[in-house]
Each structure stands twice: as structure tokens, then as C-alpha cells.
Amino acid sequence: MNMKEVDYLKHIYQIKDSEVLLCIAKINSFKEKQASYPKTKPTELDKFLSTKASNKIAGVVTTNSRLWQLIENKTIPKNRTEEEILNYYSSLDSIHENYKVLPIHSNYIIQMYRNLFKFEELPNKQKVDILDTMCENYKNALKSGIFDSLVLIHCFVLDLLCLHLFNKGNGRISRLLNLLLLYKCGYFAGCYSSIASFIINDVNTYYETVRILSQRWKDKKNNPQLFIKYMLNVIISCYKDFELRQNFADYVNQTSYDVVKSFAEKHNGVFSKKTVLTACQDIGGRSLIEFNLKRLVREGFIKRVGLYASALYAKTRQ
């Protein structure tokens, strides 16, 4: 594709689907309510789940225990796969912390790639020139205020996927940039609910959508509507999960960690994981409760007696 044809204003005029417009309205409704939620940062568990899911989509996996050890600096990567996973986690953490100052520029995107894949070949000048044009056209279209940012964001992400800028890792780079662009436009569903986790629930549709549109992109017949519709529905799912967590946090005025700790503090004698899951089920899924139990054990607030599913817990000081 000639770089002059990466024109988001042209793309936008093709978006006429009523479902897309309805999705945009729903997401903006969530965004308005989002302002009333307390501003907190994603937990280590949130970033763990996002890192795990995004790499799994790319077929890059390690065990949960290894990933936790890597994140907590208790071990070092034993191979290139683990290096990539840890580098992804670091890049994700940087976006969460610094999204306001990170630029939408080819230099930053290529540097992100270097950080993730230290030994891979960089793109040729022709593709970098196209990326430069994409970044400038995206920023100009966004600055014009004429078009909805949600549509522009996913036009950009799709073009990045179709350009196939790098020899590997294009999907992971696109998911990091997707989060960054959403943050910069004030959409924070990805702060708690991993976009990648929802994509992986329907990953075959994701791959097929990208495959079809990549071919049309090469043939200069691309209409990004299919991809936009898919991603907007993913974001709606993220927001629903985000809102569920926030509504409960508002209700109890506590974090999930506080709820599990409070339960342990008030419980005399030993208790099982199943007891905690039953008592604290409204704060989230099994993995969130298990994460907080492990944290309380590490902090010395509770101790674990026994192994695996039969393990019991008790306060270290009764």
C-alpha cells in the first residue's frame, strides 16, 4: 500500500453501521460514569492476567508460577520466550504509569519493539515511512475533532496489524498501543479488565477478522468496519467487568485485598480457601481471591497449613 493511502478521514466516511454507532454510544456512557469511580492503579494481578493473555494469543506461554516469579524479580528468564514475556510486562507497566507523556510516533513504537524483542530485525525504511504517515494522519484526524476517537483508534490499530511492520510480535505491539491510545483518549476500562483477556475468549474470530482485512488492505479494498465492531464489543465487555468491580468497591469501600484480609482477621481458627471463596465471591473471581491469599501469606499475616486443594489457612497471631 502506498503511504499516501493511509488516510483515516477516508476510512471514517465508510463507517455507517448502526451497530458501530450503538457501541460507541454505550462506551461513552460507561466513560461518563467512569469519572465517578475512585482513581486507582491496576494491581499486579491485573497486569499478570493481561501479560499472560496477550502473549498466549501469540502462542507464547510459560507457567503461572514462573510468570509470578519473573514479575516479582525472584528469578531471571531462562530462555528468549520468558524474556519476551517479562519485557511485555515491563512495557505494559510503563503505559499504565506514563501514558500521558508517551508519544504516538514511529520512534516510540520502534523503541517499544526494541524493548520487547531485543534480537529481532527492525523494519525497513519504506515501512517506517508508512508508519510515520499513519501516526501523523491519526493525530491530525483526532485533533480535527470531527470523528469519534474510538473509531480512529481502531483504524490505526488495524492499519498497524495489516502493515505487518515487524517480522514478529505485531499483535502484541498492537495490543499495547491499543491500550495506550484508549488511555490517552480517556477510556480506562483496560486499567482493570485486560483487553487481551477478552480477545482470547473469542480468539478465532479475532484472527479471522484480521486475516480477511489484511488481504483487503493489500488489495486496497479495505473497510475497517468489521474490526472496529469486534474491538468495540471487546471494550464494552471490559467496561462491564470494570463497572462490576468498581460498583462493589464503592459498596464496601474496600479493595479486594482489604476484603480478604478483613475476613481472615475476623475468622478464629483455621479456614479453607473454599470458605473464603464463598464469603468473598462478590469481589471477583477465584484467581483474584487466590492472589490475595498468597499476598497475605507472603506478608506473614496468615500462614498456610497443608498443600494444594486441601490446604488450610490461619492467622499467624490468634
Answer with the one of 205, 232, 249 that is the final residue of a domain: 249
Kindly report the CATH number assigned to the domain that includes residue 278.
Answer: 1.10.10.10
Q: Are 72 and 153 contained in the same domain?
A: yes
The DSSP-derived string for 42-100 is PPHHHHHHHHHHHHHHTT----HHHHHHHHTTSS--SSHHHHHHHHHHHHHHHHHHHTT
Which has more confidence, 144 or 317?
144
Q: Are 186 and 131 contained in the same domain?
A: yes
Kindly report the CATH number assigned to the domain that includes residue 204.
Answer: 1.10.3290.10
Which pLDDT score is estimated for 135? 95
Q: Are 232 and 292 contained in the same domain?
A: no
State the residue range of the domain holding 65. Answer: 3-249
Q: How far is the C-alpha of 143 from the C-alpha of 261, rounded, in Å?
A: 47
End-to-end CA distance of the chain: give it in Å, rounded: 69
Q: How far is the C-alpha of 233 from the C-alpha of 237, rounded, in Å?
A: 6
Closest CA to 132 of 103, 169, 100: 103
For 237-283, what is each residue's pLDDT tens digit? 988 887 766 655 554 446 778 888 888 887 777 888 887 877 776 66
For 2-13, what is each residue's pLDDT tens digit? 444 456 665 555
Which pLDDT score is estimated for 1? 44
Q: Are 30 and 63 contained in the same domain?
A: yes
Answer with the one of 249, 277, 297 that is the final residue of a domain: 249
* Percentage, residues of the chain above pLDDT 70: 87
Most confident of 30-34, 63-67, 83-87, 211-215: 83-87
How far are the Cα atoms of 154, 206, 312 from residue 174, in angstroms, in the given order? 10, 13, 43
pLDDT for residue 189 is more than 90: no
Which has more confidence, 265 or 84?
84
Which pLDDT score is estimated for 9? 60
